[in-house]
Amino acid sequence: MPTRTQVGIIGGGPAGLLLAQLLHQQGIGAVVLENRPRARVEARQRAGLLEQGTVDLLREAGAAARLDREGLVHEGVLLSYNGRRHRINLSELTGGACVTIYAQTEVVKDLIQQRLSQSLPLLFEAEATRIEGLETSTPVIHYTYQGEERTLACDFVAGCDGFHGVARQAAPEGFFKTYDKTYPYSWLGIIAEVPPSTDELIYAFHERGFALHSMRSSTRSRLYVQCAVTDTVEDWPDARIWQELHLRLGTAGWTLREGPIL
């Protein structure tokens, strides 16, 4: 079990794993501590659209083989305003840049497999509890693993464990500022077991609220509807979700495909 490394990385999501691989390519050692089990990390549903810079970086890291095989490349996007659509050719306007549909879940799976295949340290169910000496040249991460309290001495600590993570809480007072903006609405998102109804994303403005048609793959659709902040899941049975999606995304000569909501 490593007790010393150059960079201690807290968080085994896409940020922490990709950072670890880029450091490895430069000959810099790192240990990744992830507090969740591997199965849960690989099942977490997150965003699925990758911008060109992200795809390029994953390729540079040697982690894009499956992405290049299975990712859905989009050269444009559709904007809808009360049923009238306009396509923006992103690739044409940006000198060839595209976006790629490839779920973050799959990116994480690829990065985990890459790191483990290289026999590099990645600990699951290793919960960082505090960071000692963060403002010194020898910070120490305290964490629990396999029921025991352990320490990891580092040259640097990379906090990749999100807004509620221990790394952010350990930052010195005044190190950063936090700004909040609360909108008077929410989004309800679903994944449906049905092929996408269009080849590109649709962002729809409608008098009843926003809607988005996206996708996770060639067989699964990802859709969103704007709703009230006070709404609960019980307020949105499947029939109501599809009804609103048809209304907000609809346009002449086009049909929204329905399927089981996962």
The pTM of this model reads: 0.88
CATH number at residue 203: 3.30.9.10
* Same domain assignment for residues 38 and 118: yes
Above 90 in pLDDT, residue 172? Answer: no
Q: What is the structure's pLDDT at 177?
A: 86
* Same domain assignment for residues 201 and 90: yes
Q: What is the structure's pLDDT at 48?
A: 84
Above 80 in pLDDT, residue 1? Answer: no
CA distance 154 to 28: 12
* Same domain assignment for residues 210 and 124: no
Identify whether 238 is part of a domain: yes
Question: Which residues on adjacent β-strands are paired with residue 34?
Answer: 124
* Number of domains observed in the structure of the chain: 2
* Strand ranges for the chain from DSSP E: 4-10, 30-34, 49-50, 72-74, 76-81, 84-89, 99-101, 122-124, 126-132, 140-145, 148-159, 186-192, 202-205, 211-215, 221-227
Share of the chain above pLDDT 70, in %: 100
* Same domain assignment for residues 29 and 111: yes
Measured in whole angstroms, the distance separating CA 167 from the mean position of its chain's CA atoms is: 19
Above 80 in pLDDT, residue 165? Answer: yes
Share of the chain above pLDDT 90, in %: 86
* Same domain assignment for residues 113 and 91: no
Identify whether 200 is part of a domain: yes
CA distance 213 to 225: 9
* Structure-block tokens of residue 203: 């962002």
Query: Which of 115, 143, 170 is a domain's end point?
Result: 170
Identify whether 60 is part of a domain: no
Residue 171 pLDDT level (bands cut at 50, 70, 90): confident
Above 90 in pLDDT, residue 62? Answer: yes
* Same domain assignment for residues 92 and 192: yes
Above 90 in pLDDT, residue 176? Answer: no
Residue 45 pLDDT level (bands cut at 50, 70, 90): confident
Residue 129 pLDDT level (bands cut at 50, 70, 90): very high
* Same domain assignment for residues 44 and 114: yes
CA distance 140 to 31: 12
Residue 42 pLDDT level (bands cut at 50, 70, 90): very high
* Same domain assignment for residues 86 and 109: no
CA distance 102 to 217: 7
Residue 4 CB-density burial (10 A; 0-12 exposed, 13-18 middle, 19+ buried): middle
The model's pLDDT over 183-233, given as tens digits with 9 standing for 90+, comes to: 999 999 999 999 999 999 999 999 999 999 999 888 999 999 999 999 999
Domain that holds residue 250: 75-102+180-262
CATH number at residue 23: 3.50.50.60
Identify whether 62 is part of a domain: no
Query: Which of 150, 170, 190 is a domain's end point?
Result: 170
- 179 or 19: whose pLDDT is higher? 19
Q: What is the structure's pLDDT at 67?
A: 96
